[in-house]
Amino acid sequence: MPIPLIIDTDPGVDDTVALVLALQSPEADVRAVTVSFGNVGIEKTFANARRVLALAGRPDIPVAAGAARPLVHEQEEWAPEWHGADGLGGRSAEFPEPVAADPRFAVALMADVLREATEPVTIISIGPLTNTALLLATHPDMTAKIGRIVAMAGSLGAGNTRGVAEFNVYADPEAAHRVLNQADVPVTMVPLDITMRTLADGDWISELTASGPRCATLAGVIAGYRKAFNERYGIDAVALHDALAVLEAVLPGTLRTTALPIRVACDLGPARGATVADRRPDAAGPPVHVALDADTDAVLAEMARRLRTLR
């Protein structure tokens, strides 16, 4: 039976790939897409999510806008240099017209999906965790309906934004702390430690381009992201961070995890947004299943196989 999913996102190049990956996975029953601020402002991320659903031919899936800003402090860093001013690498005009918007607030849509579900729902959080944190805080009666939360979030090593933080956590550390430090719902965290080791190279992108016109549109979105990645890291490849979280959600066990309590630095200093694991045997706090290993070649091949069915 397909896994019921809510995807919370902020498209974003890698979010776009991740959304298509979920929509092209037979194990996935995507029941809602919810959107927050993140890579760019919410007016753009919301339109982009609806454009991706149009590209995939899925106007039936409700898509709702949620948080326009973090829970507490203003967002200090955006990512247009990675995702383009429009969030789609400057390619938004190449997408079909966005599907219709659902009028509900994102958290209300999430709660409605959970309320109507007869089996556990997986929430995939691949942007700032603000909407997911709000859901947990305002609808505690719905937590029993959540099978698990799979979040592309954090890093136990180097970050990819200011200081030591990963972008999604840095965008709203207080929300990340709320999600990662609760015992009501199992959480799988997919950090930079594994996403930065799973790199799609030029051949991978070329094969996607050659798979059909809609795949070519998807590959075109990656082009600017690939250039920025090369300029930052000196590698002609890209880390499609969010797609790893989606693959783990639809094929549980794809990524090998270690259970660790995680604390998020919510101060205003240079470590803001850091995700710190307590590795002591007697460490207190709810364990987070942190994905730290995988067969990266197999992961990339499986992602490519599914994406190329878009044609």
Q: Which residue numbers are catalytic?
A: 241
Element (H, E) at 190: strand 187-190
Residues 273/200, Cβ–Cβ less than 8 Å: no
Residues 302/247, Cβ–Cβ less than 8 Å: yes
CA distances from 284 to 180, 277, 287 (A): 13, 11, 8
Q: Rounded distance, CA 166 to CA 239, Å?
A: 13
Peptide bond connecting 12 to the previous residue in cis, omega within 30 degrees of 0: yes
Which runs of consecutive H residues, i.e. helices, occur in 84-212?
Answer: 106-116, 130-138, 167-171, 173-180, 192-195, 202-209
Q: Rounded distance, CA 206 to CA 267, Å?
A: 43
Residue 277 has a CB neighbour count (10 Å cut-off) of: 18
Q: Rounded distance, CA 252 to CA 289, Å?
A: 12
Residue owning tokens 């069915």: 309
Q: How far is CA 107 from the centre of its chain?
A: 16
The region that residue 151 occupies, defined by phi over 0 for left and psi between -120 and 50 for alpha, beta otherwise, is beta
